[in-house]
A and B are shown apart, each in its own frame.
Chain A
Amino acid sequence: MDQPMQSEYGEYWDNLLKQERKLAIRDIIDSQLVTEDGLRIGRVASIECLLGDDTSLVLLHLLVGPEALASRISPRLRKWLHFFLHGRFEYKIPLSEVKSFGPTLLLRGPASHYGPGRSEQWIARTLFRWIPGSGYESSEN
C-alpha cells in the first residue's frame, strides 16, 4: 500500500478542513431556527431555490412546516397534506433574515416577525393561558 508523503498528507488535511468549513446544505437543513429574542421557532424543513435560465441556482427561502417536511419524504405525501392543510402551516423565511449559521440558525428579527413564532404565540394566548400555572398573566405584566 502506497503511503503518501508528509507534504501530501498536509495538503490533504488542509483540503479536508477547508471543505468542512464551507457552508453546505447539511449546515442549513434540519437546523434549529432561533430568533433574536432567543426563542426557538422550528426547524428548517426545506429550502426554496430559484433556477435561473443560465442554470444558476440561488437559495431564496427557508421553509418551515409539516408540508415542506413531507415533500422531503415523498411528493405524494405532500400533496395529501396540502389537501388537508392548504399550506396553513407552511412558512417561508427569506435567507437574508439569517444572521449567522452554526449549530443553530440565528435570525435577525424577534419571533413575532416570523410565521412559526406567531403561531406559537397564538397557541400560548388562546390555549395555554387557561392551564393553571401557565404564568400567562405574569408575563403580561
Chain B
Amino acid sequence: MRVLRIEEVLDKRIVSTEGKLIGHVLDIQVSKQAGKSTEPTYTITALLCGRYGLLHRLHVALPFARLLKVRPDTQIVLWEHVLRVEKKAIIVRSLPDKQSYSVPAAPEDE
C-alpha cells in the first residue's frame, strides 16, 4: 500500500503489458460506495482517455456534441484492468482491442 497524489495518475500514459499505448489519462471516474461505517468511500473506477477525454475534463463534451452534432466518444479504461501504477505510466493488462477496456454496464453512482 502506498499513498499517492492524483497528479501521479492524471495525464499519465496508459500502456498495456505488451507495451502498446492505449492513451493518456485525461479524467478519472469516481464511485461513491457506502462502507460498513456511515462514512462513504470514494474509489476510482475508470480512466477516461482518447481524443475527446479532454472535452469531458473541461465540462464541454455535451455542448460540443450538441452544437457540432458530433459524437465525442471517450475511451474508458476500467480500473480493474490496471495492474500497477509506475512513475511514468499506468500498466494495464493486454486486451485484444481498445473497446475491451470498457464495460458497457458500469456501476451507477449513488
Total A-B residue pairs with C-beta atoms closer than 8 Å?
A: 98
Known contacts A24-B27, A71-B7: A55-B62 contact under CB 8 Å: no
Query: Which residue of chain A lies nearest to B25 when distances are taken between CB atoms in the complex?
Result: A25
Does B30 lie within 8 Å of A59, measured CB to CB?
yes
Query: How many Å lie between the Cα of A122 and that of B31 in the bound state?
Result: 37
Is B4 interfacial (CB 8 A cutoff)? Answer: yes
Interface range on chain A (Cβ under 8 Å from partner): 20 to 34
B36 at the interface (CB under 8 A from A): no
Evaluate contact between B29 and A24: CB separation under 8 angstroms.
yes
- Asked if A49 and B30 make an inter-chain contact with CB atoms under 8 angstroms apart, the answer reads no
Tell me how far the C-beta of A66 lies from the nearest C-beta in chain B, rounded to whole angstroms.
14
Q: Which of the segments A14-22, A113-121, A123-131, A133-141 contacts the partner chain?
A: A14-22
User: In the complex, A94→B71 CA distance in Å?
Assistant: 37
Contact of B42 among A20, A21, A22, A59 (CB under 8 A): A59
A47 at the interface (CB under 8 A from B): yes
Quick one: CB contact mask for A21-34 with B, threshold 8 Å, 1 for yes? 11111101100000
**Cβ contacts under 8 Å, B109 to chain A:** 21-23
Contact in complex: A63, B5 (CB < 8 Å)? yes
Contact call A25/B39, Cβ cutoff below 8 A = no
5 CB-based A-B contacts, threshold 8 Å: A49-B4, A49-B6, A55-B79, A57-B85, A59-B43
A25-B10, A55-B82 provided; 5 other pairs, C-beta below 8 A? Answer: A23-B29, A24-B48, A29-B6, A46-B5, A57-B79
